[in-house]
Amino acid sequence: MMEPSSVSFSDILQYIIMGVQSGCIYALVAMGFNMIYNATGIINFAQGEFVVLGGLLMVSLTMTLNLPIPLSFAATTLAVTAAGVAMERFTINPVKNPTVLRLIIITIAVSIIVKGAAMGIWGKNSYFMRHFSGSEPLDFLGASLLPQTLWIVGTLVLIVAAYIYFFNHTMTGKCMRACAINRDAARLSGINDRRMVMLSFALSAGIGAIAGIIITPIIQMDYARGALLGIKGFGAAVLGGLGNSMGAIIAGILLGVLEAASAGLISSHYMDAIALFILLLVLFVRPSGIFGSSAAMRLKEF
């Protein structure tokens, strides 16, 4: 453990870099939660498993089959997106009169199945993956910066740009927004809300997969990581105000930095507990999130 007095500028910068790196992942997971939540009101407990699937598939394609990274990236994202669609078609869509409890247990069941399948296919090992462009750290004002971190941040920026474009400038995106605001009204104006639900699972799974792909070179993926990634991502989603994806991005990065800083300044053993503790605190004190207004508290309904 480090004495507080010995914390230098470069240490703090290092925490921020580490924090932003994992924070981007939490942000992406949180965006995935929000998409499904906005379309259905469901919190998908299998969200973390999409990330694991993305990471492990990418490992197999690049390391075992030696496919080039761009091709593997696309193939993995597509495959996990298909898994998301399958989840919606076979487990959510057939449920005729769902209760909240039943939906929670169904998504938990899916998460157990994915985890079990991942364990069956990939075993219990952690998998290395080569960095996208070299693993030699760069020097950044005295702190070290992996090129992969730049890939992660860059990917997040691209996804956010695509997200903004999709929801503001495409017909499908606008229809999804309409469904999120008022599903009945959207249905009455001719929007196929069932298709929007399927699309939300597809996008959510795809974003989850991308998060898994870009983080695996740094954290080494294994089959059991889904639960913790999922719950931390949920923490970011709640902190940013559930359903609010721009809030989730800021909250995700904030959560990552807080976690990295407390790991560095207090103790790295308790690192995983920090994000969870923040999640509980937000749920107890301000469940509408730091950006949500307390008047718009429809979220407590669920």
Which residues sit at the interface with other proteins, rule CB under 8 A? 42-43, 45, 91, 94-95, 100-102, 104-106, 108-117, 119-120, 123-124, 227-228, 231, 234-235, 238, 267, 269-270, 272-273, 276-277, 279-280, 283-284, 287, 295, 299-302
**Spatial contact of 60 and 243, defined as CB atoms under 8 Å apart:** no
Largest CA distance in the chain: 63
- Which C-beta is closer to other proteins: that of 71 or that of 281? 281
Q: Shortest Cβ distance from residue 167 to other proteins (Å)?
A: 23
Q: Shortest Cβ distance from residue 134 to other proteins (Å)?
A: 33
Calpha distance 180→176 (Å, rounded)? 6
Which residues have a Cβ under 8 Å from the Cβ of 50 and sit 6 or more positions away?
32, 80, 83, 84, 204, 205, 207, 208, 209, 212
Q: Shortest Cβ distance from residue 254 to other proteins (Å)?
A: 17
Q: Shortest Cβ distance from residue 9 to other proteins (Å)?
A: 28
- Which C-beta is closer to other proteins: that of 152 or that of 258? 258
Other CB atoms within 10 Å distance of the CB of residue 20: 20
- Which C-beta is closer to other proteins: that of 123 or that of 142? 123
- Which C-beta is closer to other proteins: that of 83 or that of 238? 238
- Which C-beta is closer to other proteins: that of 172 or that of 268? 268
Torsion of CA 242, 245, 249, 252, to 10 degrees: 20
